[in-house]
Structure 1
Amino acid sequence: MAKRGKRYANALSKIDRSNLYDASQALSLVCEVAEAKFDETVEAHVRLGVDSRHADQQVRGAVVLPNGTGKTKKVLVFAKGEKAKEAEAAGADFVGAEEMVQKIQGENWFDFDIVVATPDMMGVVGRLGRVLGPKGLMPNPKSGTVTFDVTKAVNEIKAGKVEYRLDKTNIIHVPIGKVSFGGEKLAQNFAVLMEAIIKAKPSAAKGQYLRSISVASSMGPGVKVNPARVTE
Protein backbone atom coordinates (compact mmCIF):
# COMPACT_ATOMS: atom_id res chain seq x y z
CA MET A 1 0.00 0.00 0.00
CA ALA A 2 2.89 2.36 0.73
CA LYS A 3 3.87 2.24 -2.93
CA ARG A 4 0.38 3.17 -4.04
CA GLY A 5 0.27 5.84 -1.32
CA LYS A 6 3.43 7.46 -2.71
CA ARG A 7 2.07 7.42 -6.28
CA TYR A 8 -1.27 8.76 -5.13
CA ALA A 9 0.40 11.58 -3.19
CA ASN A 10 2.50 12.42 -6.24
CA ALA A 11 -0.62 12.56 -8.43
CA LEU A 12 -2.42 14.63 -5.83
CA SER A 13 0.39 17.19 -5.78
CA LYS A 14 -0.29 18.01 -9.45
CA ILE A 15 -3.97 18.81 -8.83
CA ASP A 16 -5.27 22.04 -7.32
CA ARG A 17 -8.01 20.65 -5.07
CA SER A 18 -9.60 24.06 -4.62
CA ASN A 19 -9.90 24.68 -8.36
CA LEU A 20 -12.86 23.91 -10.62
CA TYR A 21 -11.42 22.91 -13.99
CA ASP A 22 -12.92 22.97 -17.47
CA ALA A 23 -13.83 19.39 -18.48
CA SER A 24 -11.06 19.13 -21.12
CA GLN A 25 -8.44 20.42 -18.64
CA ALA A 26 -9.67 18.06 -15.93
CA LEU A 27 -9.58 15.01 -18.20
CA SER A 28 -6.11 15.84 -19.54
CA LEU A 29 -4.97 16.11 -15.93
CA VAL A 30 -6.54 12.74 -15.07
CA CYS A 31 -4.53 11.15 -17.90
CA GLU A 32 -1.36 12.95 -16.86
CA VAL A 33 -1.47 11.79 -13.23
CA ALA A 34 -2.54 8.17 -13.92
CA GLU A 35 0.44 6.03 -12.99
CA ALA A 36 -0.91 2.49 -12.73
CA LYS A 37 0.74 -0.24 -14.79
CA PHE A 38 -2.57 -1.04 -16.51
CA ASP A 39 -4.88 1.06 -18.69
CA GLU A 40 -7.10 2.62 -16.05
CA THR A 41 -10.80 3.28 -16.58
CA VAL A 42 -11.84 6.93 -16.30
CA GLU A 43 -15.13 7.66 -14.54
CA ALA A 44 -17.35 10.71 -14.21
CA HIS A 45 -19.11 11.29 -10.88
CA VAL A 46 -22.04 13.71 -11.07
CA ARG A 47 -23.92 14.86 -7.96
CA LEU A 48 -27.40 16.12 -8.82
CA GLY A 49 -29.77 18.44 -6.97
CA VAL A 50 -32.59 15.90 -6.87
CA ASP A 51 -33.96 13.47 -4.28
CA SER A 52 -33.78 9.90 -5.59
CA ARG A 53 -36.30 8.77 -2.95
CA HIS A 54 -39.04 10.40 -5.03
CA ALA A 55 -40.20 8.63 -8.18
CA ASP A 56 -40.67 11.93 -10.04
CA GLN A 57 -37.03 12.90 -9.39
CA GLN A 58 -35.35 9.79 -10.76
CA VAL A 59 -32.67 10.31 -13.39
CA ARG A 60 -31.95 7.28 -15.53
CA GLY A 61 -31.15 6.53 -19.13
CA ALA A 62 -28.49 5.38 -21.55
CA VAL A 63 -26.24 7.01 -24.11
CA VAL A 64 -23.81 5.79 -26.77
CA LEU A 65 -20.37 7.32 -26.20
CA PRO A 66 -18.81 8.44 -29.54
CA ASN A 67 -15.45 6.85 -28.71
CA GLY A 68 -16.78 3.82 -26.86
CA THR A 69 -15.70 2.79 -23.36
CA GLY A 70 -12.57 0.81 -24.22
CA LYS A 71 -14.25 -2.33 -22.92
CA THR A 72 -16.27 -4.84 -24.94
CA LYS A 73 -19.35 -5.83 -22.98
CA LYS A 74 -20.77 -9.35 -22.97
CA VAL A 75 -24.48 -9.23 -23.81
CA LEU A 76 -27.12 -11.75 -22.74
CA VAL A 77 -30.39 -11.53 -24.71
CA PHE A 78 -33.64 -13.15 -23.60
CA ALA A 79 -35.57 -13.85 -26.79
CA LYS A 80 -37.28 -16.65 -28.71
CA GLY A 81 -37.76 -17.65 -32.33
CA GLU A 82 -36.88 -15.05 -34.95
CA LYS A 83 -35.83 -12.51 -32.32
CA ALA A 84 -33.34 -15.02 -30.87
CA LYS A 85 -31.85 -15.54 -34.36
CA GLU A 86 -31.73 -11.76 -34.84
CA ALA A 87 -29.87 -11.32 -31.52
CA GLU A 88 -27.32 -13.97 -32.50
CA ALA A 89 -26.80 -12.34 -35.89
CA ALA A 90 -26.26 -8.96 -34.20
CA GLY A 91 -23.42 -10.39 -32.13
CA ALA A 92 -25.04 -11.13 -28.76
CA ASP A 93 -22.74 -13.31 -26.65
CA PHE A 94 -25.54 -15.40 -25.13
CA VAL A 95 -29.14 -15.88 -26.32
CA GLY A 96 -31.86 -17.93 -24.70
CA ALA A 97 -35.06 -18.08 -22.68
CA GLU A 98 -36.12 -20.25 -19.71
CA GLU A 99 -32.89 -22.28 -19.88
CA MET A 100 -30.92 -19.08 -19.14
CA VAL A 101 -33.02 -18.48 -16.03
CA GLN A 102 -32.17 -22.00 -14.85
CA LYS A 103 -28.48 -21.50 -15.61
CA ILE A 104 -28.35 -18.24 -13.62
CA GLN A 105 -30.37 -19.63 -10.70
CA GLY A 106 -28.84 -23.12 -10.65
CA GLU A 107 -25.20 -22.36 -11.47
CA ASN A 108 -24.95 -18.79 -10.11
CA TRP A 109 -23.81 -17.89 -13.64
CA PHE A 110 -23.06 -14.23 -14.30
CA ASP A 111 -20.60 -14.27 -17.21
CA PHE A 112 -22.25 -11.24 -18.84
CA ASP A 113 -22.24 -7.47 -18.38
CA ILE A 114 -25.66 -6.43 -19.62
CA VAL A 115 -29.05 -8.04 -20.19
CA VAL A 116 -31.47 -7.28 -23.04
CA ALA A 117 -34.96 -8.76 -23.26
CA THR A 118 -37.83 -8.60 -25.72
CA PRO A 119 -41.00 -7.33 -23.97
CA ASP A 120 -42.73 -10.73 -24.26
CA MET A 121 -39.86 -12.30 -22.24
CA MET A 122 -40.13 -9.96 -19.24
CA GLY A 123 -42.41 -12.41 -17.42
CA VAL A 124 -39.59 -14.98 -17.59
CA VAL A 125 -36.85 -12.45 -16.76
CA GLY A 126 -38.94 -11.16 -13.84
CA ARG A 127 -38.22 -14.43 -12.02
CA LEU A 128 -34.60 -13.25 -11.81
CA GLY A 129 -35.48 -9.87 -10.27
CA ARG A 130 -33.97 -10.74 -6.90
CA VAL A 131 -30.59 -11.63 -8.36
CA LEU A 132 -30.39 -9.26 -11.33
CA GLY A 133 -31.87 -6.22 -9.54
CA PRO A 134 -29.18 -5.73 -6.86
CA LYS A 135 -26.46 -6.11 -9.54
CA GLY A 136 -28.08 -3.43 -11.71
CA LEU A 137 -28.57 -5.99 -14.49
CA MET A 138 -32.38 -5.97 -14.77
CA PRO A 139 -33.51 -4.92 -18.28
CA ASN A 140 -35.34 -1.59 -18.32
CA PRO A 141 -37.28 0.21 -21.09
CA LYS A 142 -35.71 3.56 -20.08
CA SER A 143 -32.23 2.29 -20.84
CA GLY A 144 -33.33 0.63 -24.09
CA THR A 145 -32.75 -2.91 -22.83
CA VAL A 146 -36.42 -3.99 -23.07
CA THR A 147 -37.11 -3.86 -26.80
CA PHE A 148 -38.12 -5.86 -29.85
CA ASP A 149 -35.34 -4.12 -31.79
CA VAL A 150 -32.65 -6.45 -30.45
CA THR A 151 -30.29 -5.68 -33.35
CA LYS A 152 -30.17 -1.99 -32.42
CA ALA A 153 -29.83 -2.77 -28.70
CA VAL A 154 -26.91 -5.17 -29.19
CA ASN A 155 -25.17 -2.91 -31.73
CA GLU A 156 -25.39 0.12 -29.41
CA ILE A 157 -24.07 -1.80 -26.41
CA LYS A 158 -21.15 -3.14 -28.45
CA ALA A 159 -20.47 0.38 -29.79
CA GLY A 160 -20.05 1.82 -26.28
CA LYS A 161 -23.49 2.41 -24.81
CA VAL A 162 -23.45 3.23 -21.09
CA GLU A 163 -26.30 3.43 -18.62
CA TYR A 164 -26.55 6.18 -16.07
CA ARG A 165 -28.68 6.17 -12.94
CA LEU A 166 -28.72 7.81 -9.53
CA ASP A 167 -27.38 5.97 -6.52
CA LYS A 168 -28.90 6.46 -3.05
CA THR A 169 -26.73 9.54 -2.47
CA ASN A 170 -28.01 11.24 -5.67
CA ILE A 171 -24.73 10.68 -7.53
CA ILE A 172 -24.33 9.19 -11.02
CA HIS A 173 -21.13 7.16 -11.61
CA VAL A 174 -20.36 6.39 -15.27
CA PRO A 175 -17.24 5.04 -17.04
CA ILE A 176 -16.33 7.32 -19.96
CA GLY A 177 -13.30 5.51 -21.38
CA LYS A 178 -9.70 4.57 -20.66
CA VAL A 179 -6.64 6.68 -19.84
CA SER A 180 -5.14 5.61 -23.18
CA PHE A 181 -7.92 7.53 -24.98
CA GLY A 182 -6.27 10.82 -24.04
CA GLY A 183 -7.95 14.02 -22.88
CA GLU A 184 -9.61 14.94 -26.18
CA LYS A 185 -11.53 11.68 -26.76
CA LEU A 186 -12.49 11.49 -23.08
CA ALA A 187 -13.78 15.08 -23.27
CA GLN A 188 -15.94 14.14 -26.29
CA ASN A 189 -17.42 11.19 -24.39
CA PHE A 190 -17.94 13.34 -21.29
CA ALA A 191 -19.76 16.04 -23.29
CA VAL A 192 -22.20 13.50 -24.77
CA LEU A 193 -22.87 11.99 -21.34
CA MET A 194 -23.47 15.39 -19.71
CA GLU A 195 -25.80 16.46 -22.52
CA ALA A 196 -27.91 13.34 -21.86
CA ILE A 197 -27.95 13.91 -18.08
CA ILE A 198 -28.96 17.56 -18.53
CA LYS A 199 -31.76 16.55 -20.94
CA ALA A 200 -32.98 13.99 -18.40
CA LYS A 201 -33.54 16.66 -15.74
CA PRO A 202 -36.86 15.89 -14.01
CA SER A 203 -39.43 18.70 -14.05
CA ALA A 204 -39.81 18.17 -10.28
CA ALA A 205 -36.13 19.05 -9.68
CA LYS A 206 -35.76 22.42 -7.94
CA GLY A 207 -32.71 24.65 -7.51
CA GLN A 208 -29.27 23.86 -8.89
CA TYR A 209 -29.39 20.63 -10.90
CA LEU A 210 -25.64 19.99 -11.38
CA ARG A 211 -24.32 20.24 -7.82
CA SER A 212 -20.79 18.91 -8.32
CA ILE A 213 -18.83 16.95 -10.91
CA SER A 214 -15.53 15.16 -10.67
CA VAL A 215 -13.56 12.87 -12.98
CA ALA A 216 -10.98 10.30 -11.94
CA SER A 217 -9.11 7.22 -13.12
CA SER A 218 -9.53 3.88 -11.28
CA MET A 219 -6.47 4.42 -9.08
CA GLY A 220 -6.12 8.19 -9.23
CA PRO A 221 -7.51 11.14 -7.28
CA GLY A 222 -10.61 13.01 -8.40
CA VAL A 223 -10.38 16.26 -10.38
CA LYS A 224 -13.25 18.70 -9.92
CA VAL A 225 -15.07 19.99 -13.01
CA ASN A 226 -16.84 23.35 -13.05
CA PRO A 227 -20.58 22.54 -13.42
CA ALA A 228 -21.34 26.06 -14.67
CA ARG A 229 -19.04 25.54 -17.69
CA VAL A 230 -20.63 22.20 -18.58
CA THR A 231 -23.99 23.73 -19.43
CA GLU A 232 -22.58 26.45 -21.73
Structure 2
Amino acid sequence: MATPRSLIAPLSRLTTSSIAASRHQAPTLASIPYQSIRCATTKAQPKKKKKARNTFIQYDLKKTEPFSLVDAMQYIRAFEVGRNPSSSKYELAIRLRTLKNGPSLRNRLRLPHPVKTDLRICVIAAPDSKGAAEARSQGAALVGEDDIFNQIKEGIIEFDRCICHVDSLQKMNKAGLGRILGPKGLMPSTKAGTVVPNVGAAVRAMVGASEYRERLAVIRMAVGQLGFTPEEMQRNVKAFMDAIKKDISQMKGPVGKEIHEVVLSSTNAPGFTLSGDFRGANSIAAKELSGPM
Protein backbone atom coordinates (compact mmCIF):
# COMPACT_ATOMS: atom_id res chain seq x y z
CA MET A 1 0.00 0.00 0.00
CA ALA A 2 1.42 3.38 -0.99
CA THR A 3 2.29 5.70 1.79
CA PRO A 4 1.37 9.40 1.81
CA ARG A 5 5.05 10.28 1.41
CA SER A 6 5.30 8.33 -1.83
CA LEU A 7 2.35 10.25 -3.27
CA ILE A 8 3.68 13.65 -2.38
CA ALA A 9 7.12 13.01 -3.84
CA PRO A 10 6.07 13.19 -7.55
CA LEU A 11 4.19 16.37 -6.93
CA SER A 12 7.26 18.00 -5.55
CA ARG A 13 9.00 17.60 -8.85
CA LEU A 14 6.58 20.07 -10.47
CA THR A 15 8.40 23.33 -10.53
CA THR A 16 6.93 26.76 -10.63
CA SER A 17 8.20 27.27 -14.17
CA SER A 18 6.40 24.18 -15.48
CA ILE A 19 3.16 25.32 -13.93
CA ALA A 20 3.57 28.77 -15.49
CA ALA A 21 4.32 27.17 -18.85
CA SER A 22 1.14 25.14 -18.63
CA ARG A 23 -0.81 28.31 -17.94
CA HIS A 24 0.47 29.96 -21.12
CA GLN A 25 -0.69 26.99 -23.18
CA ALA A 26 -4.35 27.51 -22.20
CA PRO A 27 -6.31 29.63 -24.70
CA THR A 28 -7.17 33.10 -23.52
CA LEU A 29 -9.67 35.69 -24.71
CA ALA A 30 -8.08 38.92 -25.80
CA SER A 31 -9.79 41.98 -24.43
CA ILE A 32 -11.55 44.10 -27.09
CA PRO A 33 -11.37 47.83 -26.70
CA TYR A 34 -14.80 49.46 -26.12
CA GLN A 35 -14.32 51.82 -29.02
CA SER A 36 -14.01 48.94 -31.51
CA ILE A 37 -17.47 47.48 -30.69
CA ARG A 38 -20.01 48.96 -33.10
CA CYS A 39 -23.53 48.01 -34.16
CA ALA A 40 -24.31 47.35 -37.81
CA THR A 41 -26.92 50.08 -38.20
CA THR A 42 -27.91 52.00 -41.35
CA LYS A 43 -28.96 55.60 -41.47
CA ALA A 44 -32.64 56.02 -42.37
CA GLN A 45 -32.98 57.51 -45.83
CA PRO A 46 -35.55 60.29 -46.15
CA LYS A 47 -38.55 59.36 -48.30
CA LYS A 48 -38.65 61.08 -51.63
CA LYS A 49 -41.76 63.17 -52.10
CA LYS A 50 -43.74 62.38 -55.21
CA LYS A 51 -43.91 65.23 -57.62
CA ALA A 52 -47.43 66.63 -57.72
CA ARG A 53 -49.23 66.30 -61.05
CA ASN A 54 -49.93 69.54 -62.86
CA THR A 55 -52.49 67.97 -65.22
CA PHE A 56 -55.80 66.22 -64.71
CA ILE A 57 -55.88 62.42 -65.05
CA GLN A 58 -58.03 61.19 -67.93
CA TYR A 59 -59.12 57.67 -68.85
CA ASP A 60 -57.24 55.57 -71.38
CA LEU A 61 -59.56 55.48 -74.39
CA LYS A 62 -57.94 52.29 -75.71
CA LYS A 63 -60.09 50.39 -73.22
CA THR A 64 -63.27 52.30 -74.11
CA GLU A 65 -65.73 51.26 -76.82
CA PRO A 66 -66.81 54.29 -78.89
CA PHE A 67 -70.36 54.64 -80.26
CA SER A 68 -71.75 56.46 -83.24
CA LEU A 69 -74.30 59.19 -82.55
CA VAL A 70 -77.23 57.06 -83.72
CA ASP A 71 -76.16 54.08 -81.58
CA ALA A 72 -75.66 56.25 -78.49
CA MET A 73 -79.10 57.84 -78.95
CA GLN A 74 -80.69 54.39 -79.39
CA TYR A 75 -79.29 53.11 -76.08
CA ILE A 76 -80.07 56.34 -74.24
CA ARG A 77 -83.69 56.29 -75.41
CA ALA A 78 -83.96 52.71 -74.11
CA PHE A 79 -83.02 53.97 -70.64
CA GLU A 80 -85.56 56.80 -70.91
CA VAL A 81 -88.56 54.67 -71.93
CA GLY A 82 -91.77 55.86 -70.28
CA ARG A 83 -90.51 59.37 -69.54
CA ASN A 84 -91.70 62.65 -71.02
CA PRO A 85 -89.47 63.40 -74.05
CA SER A 86 -89.54 67.13 -73.25
CA SER A 87 -88.45 66.74 -69.61
CA SER A 88 -85.33 64.58 -70.11
CA LYS A 89 -82.46 66.14 -72.03
CA TYR A 90 -79.36 64.97 -73.87
CA GLU A 91 -76.16 66.26 -72.28
CA LEU A 92 -72.72 66.42 -73.85
CA ALA A 93 -69.60 66.22 -71.68
CA ILE A 94 -66.28 67.22 -73.23
CA ARG A 95 -63.22 66.02 -71.30
CA LEU A 96 -60.05 68.06 -71.81
CA ARG A 97 -56.34 67.39 -71.41
CA THR A 98 -55.33 70.57 -69.62
CA LEU A 99 -53.26 72.05 -66.80
CA LYS A 100 -54.75 72.22 -63.32
CA ASN A 101 -53.74 75.83 -62.79
CA GLY A 102 -54.48 76.94 -66.35
CA PRO A 103 -57.31 79.23 -67.47
CA SER A 104 -60.79 77.72 -67.77
CA LEU A 105 -63.27 78.04 -70.61
CA ARG A 106 -66.56 79.83 -70.13
CA ASN A 107 -68.94 81.12 -72.77
CA ARG A 108 -72.49 81.14 -74.03
CA LEU A 109 -73.77 79.52 -77.22
CA ARG A 110 -76.97 79.64 -79.20
CA LEU A 111 -77.49 76.18 -80.67
CA PRO A 112 -79.08 75.66 -84.10
CA HIS A 113 -81.93 73.88 -82.29
CA PRO A 114 -82.24 75.56 -78.87
CA VAL A 115 -82.95 73.40 -75.85
CA LYS A 116 -85.98 74.80 -74.06
CA THR A 117 -85.19 75.48 -70.43
CA ASP A 118 -87.12 77.25 -67.71
CA LEU A 119 -84.49 79.93 -67.18
CA ARG A 120 -85.47 82.65 -64.71
CA ILE A 121 -83.62 85.81 -65.66
CA CYS A 122 -83.13 88.74 -63.29
CA VAL A 123 -82.47 92.20 -64.71
CA ILE A 124 -81.07 94.95 -62.51
CA ALA A 125 -82.31 98.19 -63.99
CA ALA A 126 -84.32 101.20 -62.88
CA PRO A 127 -87.96 100.03 -62.62
CA ASP A 128 -89.36 102.90 -64.72
CA SER A 129 -86.59 102.90 -67.34
CA LYS A 130 -86.87 101.91 -71.00
CA GLY A 131 -84.49 99.03 -70.43
CA ALA A 132 -86.71 97.59 -67.71
CA ALA A 133 -89.72 97.65 -70.03
CA GLU A 134 -87.72 95.87 -72.76
CA ALA A 135 -86.53 93.24 -70.28
CA ARG A 136 -90.10 92.50 -69.19
CA SER A 137 -91.25 92.20 -72.80
CA GLN A 138 -88.50 89.65 -73.50
CA GLY A 139 -89.54 87.45 -70.59
CA ALA A 140 -87.36 88.53 -67.64
CA ALA A 141 -88.67 87.08 -64.38
CA LEU A 142 -87.41 89.87 -62.09
CA VAL A 143 -86.77 93.52 -62.97
CA GLY A 144 -85.78 96.31 -60.60
CA GLU A 145 -83.10 97.57 -58.22
CA ASP A 146 -83.76 98.08 -54.51
CA ASP A 147 -86.39 95.35 -54.18
CA ILE A 148 -84.04 92.82 -55.80
CA PHE A 149 -81.11 93.96 -53.64
CA ASN A 150 -83.14 93.41 -50.47
CA GLN A 151 -84.30 89.95 -51.57
CA ILE A 152 -80.74 88.86 -52.33
CA LYS A 153 -79.48 90.11 -48.94
CA GLU A 154 -82.24 88.12 -47.25
CA GLY A 155 -81.08 84.99 -49.09
CA ILE A 156 -83.97 84.88 -51.53
CA ILE A 157 -82.45 84.12 -54.93
CA GLU A 158 -85.23 83.09 -57.31
CA PHE A 159 -83.38 83.37 -60.62
CA ASP A 160 -80.87 81.42 -62.70
CA ARG A 161 -79.14 84.30 -64.53
CA CYS A 162 -78.58 87.93 -63.69
CA ILE A 163 -78.07 90.90 -66.04
CA CYS A 164 -77.29 94.46 -65.03
CA HIS A 165 -77.84 97.66 -67.00
CA VAL A 166 -74.72 99.84 -67.21
CA ASP A 167 -76.57 102.72 -65.53
CA SER A 168 -77.30 100.51 -62.48
CA LEU A 169 -73.77 99.10 -62.13
CA GLN A 170 -72.56 101.62 -59.55
CA LYS A 171 -75.69 101.18 -57.43
CA MET A 172 -75.34 97.39 -57.58
CA ASN A 173 -71.70 97.57 -56.47
CA LYS A 174 -72.60 99.78 -53.51
CA ALA A 175 -75.20 97.22 -52.43
CA GLY A 176 -72.37 94.70 -51.88
CA LEU A 177 -73.93 91.72 -53.63
CA GLY A 178 -70.64 90.22 -54.77
CA ARG A 179 -70.08 88.12 -51.64
CA ILE A 180 -73.52 86.53 -52.12
CA LEU A 181 -73.83 86.20 -55.90
CA GLY A 182 -70.12 85.72 -56.64
CA PRO A 183 -69.74 82.18 -55.24
CA LYS A 184 -72.91 81.15 -57.09
CA GLY A 185 -71.64 82.46 -60.43
CA LEU A 186 -74.52 84.93 -60.67
CA MET A 187 -72.72 88.26 -60.14
CA PRO A 188 -73.02 90.46 -63.27
CA SER A 189 -69.71 91.66 -64.68
CA THR A 190 -68.44 93.35 -67.80
CA LYS A 191 -65.97 90.52 -68.42
CA ALA A 192 -68.75 87.91 -68.43
CA GLY A 193 -70.87 90.05 -70.75
CA THR A 194 -73.70 90.43 -68.23
CA VAL A 195 -73.32 94.21 -67.73
CA VAL A 196 -74.81 95.61 -70.93
CA PRO A 197 -76.36 98.82 -72.31
CA ASN A 198 -79.20 96.95 -74.03
CA VAL A 199 -80.76 94.55 -71.51
CA GLY A 200 -83.64 93.63 -73.84
CA ALA A 201 -81.32 92.15 -76.45
CA ALA A 202 -79.26 90.46 -73.73
CA VAL A 203 -82.35 88.78 -72.28
CA ARG A 204 -83.47 87.64 -75.72
CA ALA A 205 -80.03 86.15 -76.48
CA MET A 206 -79.83 84.49 -73.08
CA VAL A 207 -83.24 82.84 -73.35
CA GLY A 208 -82.27 81.14 -76.60
CA ALA A 209 -78.65 80.51 -75.65
CA SER A 210 -77.02 77.93 -73.38
CA GLU A 211 -74.12 78.66 -71.06
CA TYR A 212 -71.19 76.30 -70.56
CA ARG A 213 -68.26 76.39 -68.19
CA GLU A 214 -65.17 74.25 -67.64
CA ARG A 215 -65.01 72.53 -64.25
CA LEU A 216 -62.20 70.10 -63.39
CA ALA A 217 -61.27 69.71 -67.06
CA VAL A 218 -64.86 68.85 -68.11
CA ILE A 219 -67.38 71.03 -69.97
CA ARG A 220 -71.05 69.99 -69.79
CA MET A 221 -74.04 71.39 -71.59
CA ALA A 222 -77.50 70.24 -72.60
CA VAL A 223 -77.54 69.77 -76.38
CA GLY A 224 -81.04 68.47 -77.01
CA GLN A 225 -84.27 66.96 -75.81
CA LEU A 226 -85.20 63.31 -76.24
CA GLY A 227 -87.68 64.32 -78.91
CA PHE A 228 -84.90 65.68 -81.15
CA THR A 229 -84.07 63.77 -84.32
CA PRO A 230 -80.52 62.46 -84.94
CA GLU A 231 -80.02 65.13 -87.60
CA GLU A 232 -80.95 67.89 -85.13
CA MET A 233 -78.63 66.38 -82.53
CA GLN A 234 -75.82 66.17 -85.07
CA ARG A 235 -76.10 69.89 -85.86
CA ASN A 236 -76.18 70.82 -82.17
CA VAL A 237 -73.21 68.62 -81.28
CA LYS A 238 -71.19 70.00 -84.19
CA ALA A 239 -71.99 73.60 -83.20
CA PHE A 240 -70.94 72.92 -79.60
CA MET A 241 -67.68 71.23 -80.63
CA ASP A 242 -66.85 74.06 -83.05
CA ALA A 243 -67.44 76.62 -80.30
CA ILE A 244 -65.11 74.80 -77.89
CA LYS A 245 -62.36 74.53 -80.51
CA LYS A 246 -62.74 78.23 -81.28
CA ASP A 247 -62.52 79.16 -77.59
CA ILE A 248 -59.34 77.10 -77.20
CA SER A 249 -57.72 78.68 -80.27
CA GLN A 250 -58.46 82.20 -79.00
CA MET A 251 -56.87 81.67 -75.57
CA LYS A 252 -53.57 83.50 -75.12
CA GLY A 253 -50.32 81.98 -73.90
CA PRO A 254 -49.24 78.33 -73.55
CA VAL A 255 -52.65 76.98 -72.60
CA GLY A 256 -52.16 73.39 -73.72
CA LYS A 257 -55.85 72.43 -73.93
CA GLU A 258 -56.90 69.49 -76.09
CA ILE A 259 -60.16 67.59 -76.45
CA HIS A 260 -59.68 64.12 -74.98
CA GLU A 261 -63.16 62.54 -75.01
CA VAL A 262 -66.74 63.43 -75.91
CA VAL A 263 -69.49 61.66 -73.95
CA LEU A 264 -73.22 61.76 -74.64
CA SER A 265 -75.64 61.01 -71.80
CA SER A 266 -79.11 62.04 -70.64
CA THR A 267 -80.97 62.87 -67.46
CA ASN A 268 -81.50 59.22 -66.50
CA ALA A 269 -79.05 57.31 -68.74
CA PRO A 270 -75.31 56.58 -68.47
CA GLY A 271 -72.72 58.13 -70.74
CA PHE A 272 -71.57 56.79 -74.12
CA THR A 273 -68.25 57.82 -75.67
CA LEU A 274 -68.82 59.18 -79.17
CA SER A 275 -66.64 58.04 -82.03
CA GLY A 276 -67.37 61.06 -84.22
CA ASP A 277 -69.44 59.07 -86.73
CA PHE A 278 -73.11 59.74 -87.38
CA ARG A 279 -74.02 56.08 -88.05
CA GLY A 280 -72.14 52.82 -87.72
CA ALA A 281 -72.09 49.81 -90.05
CA ASN A 282 -74.83 48.05 -88.06
CA SER A 283 -76.78 51.11 -86.87
CA ILE A 284 -80.52 51.39 -87.25
CA ALA A 285 -82.02 53.95 -89.60
CA ALA A 286 -82.01 57.48 -88.22
CA LYS A 287 -85.73 57.88 -88.91
CA GLU A 288 -86.50 55.15 -86.37
CA LEU A 289 -85.27 57.49 -83.61
CA SER A 290 -87.45 60.36 -84.73
CA GLY A 291 -90.81 59.04 -83.56
CA PRO A 292 -92.35 58.73 -80.11
CA MET A 293 -90.61 56.61 -77.50
Q: Same fold, TM exceeding 0.5? A: yes
Deviation at residue 170 of structure 1 after TM alignment: 1.3
Deviation at 1:28, TM superposition (A): 4.7
Over the aligned positions, Cα root-mean-square deviation in angstroms equals: 2.5
- Please say which of residues 30-39 and 85-94 is displaced more in the overlay: 30-39
1:205 maps to which of 245, 255, 271: 255
> Could you state the TM-score of these two structures normalised by the residue count of structure 2?
0.63
Distance 1:224 1:74, change over 3 A: same
Measure the CA separation in 1 of the matches of 2:233 and 2:78. 13
Deviations 1:169-218 (A, max 9, x none): 11111112221223332222222111111100024322x61011111001
- Indicate the residue corresponding to 2:243 in structure 1: 196
Aligned residue among 81, 88, 101 for 1:53? 101
The answer to whether the 8 A contact 1:52-1:58 is kept is no
Structure 2, gaps ≥5 residues long: 1-62, 279-293
Choose the corresponding residue for 1:63, options 106, 109, 112: 109
Whether 1:224 and 2:270 are equivalent positions in the alignment is no
Q: Which has the higher contact order (CA 8 A, sep 6+)?
A: 1
TM, length-normalised to structure 1: 0.77
Q: Which amino acid aligns with 1:100?
A: I
- When residues 188 and 124 of structure 1 are mapped into structure 2, their CA distance, relative to the original with a 3 A threshold, is farther
Corresponding residue number in structure 1 for 2:207? 158
Check conservation: 2:69, 2:230, Cα contact below 8 A: no
Number of residue pairs the alignment of both structures matches: 207
- The structure-2 alpha-carbon separation of the partners of 1:79 and 1:73, relative to structure 1 and needing over 3 Å to count, comes to same
The one-character-per-residue Cα deviations of 1:111-130 (angstroms, maximum 9, x if unpaired) are 22211112343344452223
User: Given that residues 123 and 140 in structure 2 are in contact (C-alpha distance below 8 angstroms), is that contact kept between their aligned partners in structure 1?
Assistant: yes
Q: Distance in 2 between matches of 1:70 and 1:197?
A: 21
Change beyond 3 A, Cα 1:60–1:142:
farther
State the Cα distance separating 1:79 from its structure 2 match.
1.3
Structure-2 change in CA distance of 1:97 and 1:28 (3 Å): farther
User: 1:157 aligns to what SS in structure 2?
Assistant: helix
**1:129 and 2:175 equivalent?**
no
Larger radius of gyration: 2
Shift of 1:102: 0.6
The one of 119, 125, 133 aligned to 1:73: 119
Q: Any residues of structure 2 matched to 1:141-152 within 5 Å, and which?
A: 141=190, 143-152=192-201
Structure 2 Cα separation of the partners of residues 141 and 187 of structure 1: 33
Distance (Å, rounded) in 1 between the aligned partners of 2:145 and 2:79: 46
